[in-house]
Structure 1
Amino acid sequence: MSGSNIRETKFGKMTVGQLMETNVQSANKDSKAEMLANYMMEGYGSVPIIDGSEKLVGIVSEFDLLKALRKGSKLSEVLASDVMTPNPISAFQGMDVPAVIDILQNNHLIRVPVVDGSGKLIGIIARRDVLRGYLQSGS
């Protein structure tokens, strides 16, 4: 399958909404980094940070926590707002597979939060979700 015809395949016509995980572990700006580290131990490689109206305002990755540790910080004293990447790259539910693959590859990301039209967090899509979609599509 070449990149020029992926959009013509069953897989290429799939959307982020069909592939994303909707059970997303999120936190807020005042969450302790230690709690975020615990989420990551449960299999979440990054944690989206939302505001009071569930709008995506940032993301904290394992790298962000490692950077804080390297500086000598105690994760029990660090807040998400101290280490998060603000205004993270995100995807939309109706985005097609080729577009989300481009986002993941061009930005060297493992997963991307999914937001609705108002910026509210509604899911997350990871590289493995895309690969699972490919395998299930029979393309």
Structure 2
Amino acid sequence: MSSTFDYCSIAKRVLKTEMAALEQLKQYFNSSFIKACDMILSNQGKVVVMGIGKSGHIGKKLASTLASTGTSAFFVHPGEAAHGDLGMVDSKDIVLALSNSGESSEILSIFPVLKRLNVRIISITSKSCSNMAKLSDVHLQVSVPKEACPLGLAPTSSTTATLVMSDAIAVALLEARGFTANDFALSHPGGMLGRKLLLRLCDIMHAGEQVPVVTPETFIREALVEISKKGLGMTAIVDKKENLVGIFTDGDLRRILDKRINIHSTTIDVVMNPKPITASPNMLAVEGVNLMQKKNINGLILCNDDGSPIGALNMHDLLKSGVM
């Protein structure tokens, strides 16, 4: 059903208004911004983010972003802080307070206690003459020409600008710390990046009795039973010293059937691949994926340094692990 109301024109107007607000934000990346970043970077405690209403929502996102990029931080609702949660704040901490007006009574009411505790305060407001700005050790101004809301009431451009200022602080600190993708993964072990950077083949491989293994003297038909039993689409072939001497896969089976080789009377060493692609169990799972794709194979035998197989996996295992 088509609409006669021009929603898209309004959306474009909102975009234009908020882009103008962000363009103006450049002037506030100044000496105060540098001082705030230096203060947080050298801080021995945590960053306690506070805000109420829409500023509170931005504050929660800021605290989360800081925490995941190397800066210890958490969010405290100013209302709850006044009723006991202020006990979470230590003299070594920095309070980062967000308020568009800079006059939020819930935040201002706890400033005297913060001052008594010698807690340093960074505020982000739209007015340098606000009480929060005056009482803070560092004030970051975020003023916008106008809100995207035609009534000028709903926080829109102002919250977008505050969000960008918050992201700028977090990213500036991230780079100043030399924070790496590996560091990020350590705080995101359950996410896709964490799995790609932390998960190793030994974490997902089949080991022990689950590894399909036969000897060179095994008949092909018996090797097929082992392949079917272990369900990995392949089997390792090992010598008397348990060293890997070959591999036989489902693909190899199709090829020998085309050659009409008797699977009941032919031993596996006749048809095995004597130069199998192997990997270390300590290899990152994502590297295992790349190796299998590069070599166009569906399974890997994982070997110790002495050449003995200790694990096996196939592409399905890697799919289940979430690294693909």
Bin of the TM-score, shorter chain as denominator length: 0.7 to 0.9
Instruction: Give the C-alpha shift of residue 104 in structure 1.
Output: 1.0
TM-score, length-scaled by structure 2? 0.38
Residue 97 of structure 1 corresponds to 285
2:216 is aligned with what amino acid?
Answer: K
> Structure 1 vs Structure 2: percent identity of aligned residues?
21
Residue 33 of structure 1 corresponds to 220
Q: How does 1:1-139 map to 2 (within 5 A)?
A: 8=185, 9-12=193-196, 13-22=198-207, 23-42=210-229, 43-134=231-322
Structure 1 stretches of 4+ moved >3 Å: 5-8
Q: Which has the higher contact order (CA 8 A, sep 6+)?
A: 1
TM-score, length-scaled by structure 1? 0.85
Which moved further from structure 2: 126-135 or 85-94? 126-135
Q: Is the 8 A contact 2:279 2:300 kept in 1?
A: yes
Instruction: Give the C-alpha shift of residue 98 in structure 1.
Output: 2.0
Q: Where do 5+ consecutive residues of structure 2 fail to align?
A: 1-180, 186-192
Which moved further from structure 2: 19-28 or 58-67? 58-67
2:306 and 2:282 map into 1 onto residues whose CA distance is: 14
Deviations 1:75-122 (A, max 9, x none): 011111110001200111110122101111111111100001111100
How many pairs were matched up?
131
2:245 and 2:252 map into 1 onto residues whose CA distance is: 15
1:67 and 1:133 map into 2 onto residues whose CA distance is: 30
Structure ranking higher in helix proportion: 2
SS of the residue 1:85 aligns to: coil
2:224 is aligned with what amino acid?
Answer: A
Instruction: Give the C-alpha shift of residue 59 in structure 1.
Output: 0.3
Instruction: Give the C-alpha shift of residue 40 in structure 1.
Output: 3.0
CA RMSD of aligned residues (A): 1.9
